[in-house]
Structure 1
Amino acid sequence: MSVDVIRARALDGVAHGFLGRRGGVSEGLFASLDLGRRSQEVDGWITENRRRAIAAVAPGAALCTVYQVHSAEVVTVGDAYPHEARPRADALVTDRPGLLLGILTADCAPVLFADRQAGVVGAAHAGWKGALAGVTDATIAAMERLGARRTSIVAAIGPCIARASYEVDDGFVATFTGPDPANERFFAPGRAGHHQFDLEAYVAHRLAAAGLTRIAALGLDTYVDAPRFFSFRRATHRGEADYGRQISLIAAD
């Protein structure tokens, strides 16, 4: 089975892809294109999966990722670095050809950015904590420091957990509505004391509020599509011991 590469029409002309879980070599709970490096790696699963992911999107490029911590920290990448030396952050930007930026997710929203004219790209991991803290705003600002123009940046939000699958409690809602009561619109009523959170819509709102005018949301729910995507929340609900991570990639020309 070939690697499942989902592309956003808004990013046509830019080497990119939101990869699903198909087309790799890992097995069991991690079948088959798991990119989350962990101690139980067997027979080079992750190494081979990384090779396949790179080949599917930007053959020959050097893959750069970060040690994700649900923050608004952004790294500007000037040169390739080994996986073991990856910095603690949740977004990357670059203007260097030959570099491939990667973000891992398993329900959080992956966001890919590009200013084709400036030759600047970015990738952000937007879980609810990072999204609320402003990881997408920080990514846009970092791209501008490399010469991108906010009015020229295109962003695409990849597969993430959808509102129908994302139940939260009253305290979670207060975390969002405290700073801005208007954020209530991203929550739909649920069972008593609970609500359904629309992470994708919230991220799109943050991108629009930052001044981006071209935003694509793919509308793909990681939770409900087990054959195609890994999902932390689905694994938790099933009582599984662990879960895999898919990768989203973008490269500068």
Structure 2
Amino acid sequence: MQTTLQVLTHPLLAPLRHGFFTRKGGASSGLFAGLNCGRGSSDQAGIVAVNRARVAEAMGVAPDRLATVHQTHSARALTLHPGDDPAAICRTEADAIVTAVHGVAIAVLAADCQPVLLADPQAGVIGAAHAGWKGTLDGILDATVAAMRDLGADNIRAVIGPCISQRAYEVGDDFMDRFLAEDPDAGRFFAGGPNGRPMFDLPGFGLHRLRELGVEAEWSGHCTYSDPDRFFSYRRSTHQGQADYGRLISAITL
């Protein structure tokens, strides 16, 4: 069984310990082969716990100090305060976590949606956001940045990790119309596809929202759909008629 984790990092978030974990190095098998960290998947709970423990070790924290939330594609950012139990917030519905607490790794799960890690190293404030198209449109990145600024961050950097790229993200006209109703200039995030349907640039839209908020931001450039050896993908699993899919984890710590 392969136990060596493959973790992607980005210089924009240095010197903080962080990582966009690929599916490499996990204990799961079958559809979930690799590092499936999704408690909401139908994978064995004990195996998911093993995978999450490996992530915690890589982040330099105990397993009960790896904090995730119950993600619902919302625009809610949760602030983890001193004295809060990182393990207990897993039942809280939110799609981002921010904190200035040391010794805690905050993390989000994704399988095509954008995992976004944010930091102001000088202020000692970090954030992690799960930003699918709905959450991004509704303001999850805005809420995350606002919560970080409430903790004293004023020079925030952000990296969008592996997510579905425009070349793999075919959508309907009604999907595009929803964006255009919010912003008539949003058409620049859509292009014509091979089937005559719009192709949506999710990371391009995420970068736009972050930069509008005054955040220095980059995308890792990795497409989850197009690289099955390294990444889980909800859309790819759906297209292949699979019953479920694994979830990738991305984490950051002070």
TM-score (norm 2): 0.94
CA drift at 1:43:
6.9
Q: Which residue of 1 aligns with 2:74?
A: 71
1:147 aligns with 2:149: no
1:171 aligns with 2:174: yes
Q: Which residue of 1 aligns with 2:183?
A: 180
C-alpha distance after superposition, 1:17-48 (max 9, x if no partner): 00010101011000110011147443710110
Out of 91, 95, 102, the residue aligned to residue 90 of structure 1 is: 95
C-alpha distance after superposition, 1:85-108 (max 9, x if no partner): 531000000000011101000000
CA contact (8 A) 1:64 1:86 kept: no
C-alpha separation between the residues in 2 aligned to 1:138 and 1:190? 32
Counterpart residue type for residue 164 of structure 1: R
How many aligned residue pairs are there? 249
CA contact (8 A) 1:101 1:250 kept: yes
CA contact (8 A) 2:68 2:90 kept: no
Aligned structure 1 segments of 4 or more residues deviating by more than 4 angstroms: none
CA contact (8 A) 1:158 1:217 kept: yes
Alignment of 1:1-253 (within 5 A): 1=2, 2-38=4-40, 40-42=42-44, 44-60=46-62, 62-78=65-81, 79-82=84-87, 85-149=90-154, 152-191=155-194, 194-212=197-215, 214-252=216-254
Q: 1:8 to 1:85 in 2, by over 3 A?
A: closer
- Secondary structure of the 2:182 match is coil
* Unaligned residue ranges in structure 2 (runs of 5+): none
CA drift at 1:248:
0.3
C-alpha separation between the residues in 2 aligned to 1:64 and 1:43? 17
CA contact (8 A) 1:93 1:123 kept: yes
* Seq. identity, %: 48
C-alpha separation between the residues in 1 aligned to 2:74 and 2:174? 20
